Amino acid sequence: MEPQYRIHVLATAQTILPKSLFLYLIPDPGLIAIPALFFYIEGAGKHILVDTGGEGEELRKNSQFGAPWEEVRSFEENLARVGITPNDVDIVIQTHLHFDHTLNTRKCHNAKVYVQKNELAQVKDPHPLTSQMYRWFEKGGKDLNYMVVNGDHQLLPGIELLSVPGHSPGCQAVAVNTAKGKAIITGFCSIHENFNPLPPLKSLVPVICPGIHLNAVQAYESLWRVKKIADVILPMHEPSLVGAECL
């Protein structure tokens, strides 16, 4: 039997953005307050983070959309809640390399950083559509201790990296065996509504593509893959997860 883990939900900052950035082709869905989330996996015998978020001021400086990010809790304060410091982190799984998922990774001096081959290629030569998302790389991302994977990858028993391209070329989700079943940290930037469309769309499509993507078809198929196999879905920017603590 595979081991079971607990997932702690952590947040460094939040901002208000057009909901259309998450719901592709949905006309004027309004605004949404979204968090910069990251996650701590407990029970692996190693200290594992999924993404690292960013501090409010740094997020504002790097924002592609001029978003007014406000700090929720510092990276160090978040880690203290699970009893560790940045130097204790053994592994950072980078779902992708957009700035709001990565800015604190450089604080984890002892960590191996797991990233998909296609994502590392993209950050070194980004497409103009999302190039501003990767500006941080030249200011501290190049020298991280990258462990490059290519496609689905079993990290540990009960923890698997899943290739879910579309939002970015090398986006990866993280499937974690928990007491509630298979929990999937989506990797791509999404909210619950991407997986549970509201009427009347609910009767027409099973999922809604993220508004930010480089390949809409791939992004749709990645969403559908996650929805089909997950018992619990943890979208990267779902507001209701703030304060959820753990599962």
CB 194 within 8 A of CB 236: no
The per-residue DSSP string of 20-39 comes to: GGTSTT-S---EEEEEEEEE
Neighbour count for residue 19 (Cβ, 10 Å): 17
What are the two backbone dihedrals, phi and then psi, of residue 151, each rounded to the nearest 5 degrees?
95, -165
In a domain, 245, yes or no: no
What are the two backbone dihedrals, phi and then psi, of residue 47, each rounded to the nearest 5 degrees?
-90, 110
Confidence of residue 201 (pLDDT cuts 50, 70, 90): confident
In a domain, 33, yes or no: yes
Q: What is the pLDDT of residue 168?
A: 97
Confidence of residue 141 (pLDDT cuts 50, 70, 90): confident
In a domain, 179, yes or no: yes
Mean pLDDT across the stretch 189-213? Answer: 93
Q: What is the pLDDT of residue 27?
A: 85
User: What are the pLDDT digits (tens) for 102-139?
Assistant: 999 999 999 999 999 999 999 999 999 888 899 899 88
Confidence of residue 2 (pLDDT cuts 50, 70, 90): confident
Q: How many domains does the chain have?
A: 1
Neighbour count for residue 177 (Cβ, 10 Å): 20
In a domain, 149, yes or no: yes
In a domain, 246, yes or no: no
Q: What is the pLDDT of residue 29?
A: 85
In a domain, 1, yes or no: no
Q: What is the pLDDT of residue 116?
A: 98
In a domain, 97, yes or no: yes
- 29-33, 65-69, 140-144, 150-154, range with the lowest pLDDT: 65-69
Give the CATH number for residue 170. Answer: 3.60.15.10
Instruction: Answer yes or no: is pLDDT of 88 > 80.
Output: yes
Instruction: Answer yes or no: is pLDDT of 101 > 80.
Output: yes
Q: What is the pLDDT of residue 240?
A: 95
Q: What is the pLDDT of residue 245?
A: 73
% of the chain residues with pLDDT over 70: 99
In a domain, 49, yes or no: yes
Q: Which domain, by its residues, includes 160?
A: 6-239
| Region of residue 172 (left: phi > 0; alpha: psi -120 to 50; beta: else) | beta
Q: What is the pLDDT of residue 244?
A: 81
Q: What is the pLDDT of residue 28?
A: 83
Q: How far apart are CA 14 and CA 94, in angstroms?
A: 19
